[in-house]
Amino acid sequence: MNYQQQIKHPLWQKKRLEVLEDRGFRCQECGANDEELHVHHPLYKRGAMIWEYTKEELESLCHRCHKNAHELDEKIKKELAVCKSKRLVLEYIRSLNTVAVTQDIPAIAASDDYVKDEGDYEDIEQILKEHPSMSHADAFFYRMKHLMGGAE
Ligand SMILES: [Zn+2]
Ligand SMILES: [Zn+2]
């Protein structure tokens, strides 16, 4: 079943409504309740139908916040694609508990020879100092959000 067919499937329509009801028909990012709402998958699980997610795994977003979420994903993928720190990339991918990212970055999926570049760590180490409970991957994500001014 392709994506277009899944979108029209009654089980997705049901799941979608459940998520919107659960969030009180508001954008969970900006709180808007007078905008068109989308139900967003922050992560895709390999082989799962789009409705085979718990409510907690889905987000209700207004069209503007939804667009931002996808743009952020794209930026992160681009950053990961050029990141020379193998450890950081692998930890980040592991934290996502998904292979979706690696599929988009074949170089990373296949690589065993990423060079460890200490320069990549400086700002990450700083973030970890300020937020001791964060994992490296979280710090990486946090830095990405900051770089594009989306951290709030
Ligand atoms: Zn919003
Ligand atoms: Zn989405």
Final residue of a domain: which of 35, 69, 103? 69
- Cα separation, 114 vs 77, whole angstroms: 16
pLDDT at residue 5 greater than cutoff 80:
yes
- 89 and 65 within one domain: no
Ligand 2: centre distance to CA 126 (Å): 31
What's the pLDDT at 83?
A: 64
**Residues 6-32: what's their mean pLDDT?**
96
- 34 pLDDT exceeds 60? yes
Q: Looking at the predicted structure, is the pLDDT value of residue 124 above 60?
A: yes
What 8-state DSSP symbol labels residue 45? P
- Contacts of 5 by beta carbon, 8 Å cutoff, 6+ apart: none
75 Cα–ligand 1 center, Å: 19
Same domain? For 7 and 65 the reply is yes
Residues 41 and 14 in one domain: yes
Domain count, the chain: 2
Same domain for 53 and 1? yes
> Is 71 a residue whose pLDDT tops 90?
no
Arithmetic mean of pLDDT over the chain: 72
Q: Tell me, what DSSP letter sits at residue 131?
A: -
Q: What was the pLDDT predicted at 55?
A: 92
Q: Which residue has the higher pLDDT, 113 or 71?
A: 71
CA–centroid distance, residue 122 to ligand 2 (Å): 32
The CB-based long-range contact list for 118-121 (8 Å cut-off, 24+ gap) reads: 120/83, 120/84, 120/85, 120/88, 121/85, 121/88
Q: What are phi and psi of 62, to 5 degrees?
A: -70, 165
Give the domain range for residue 149.
83-152
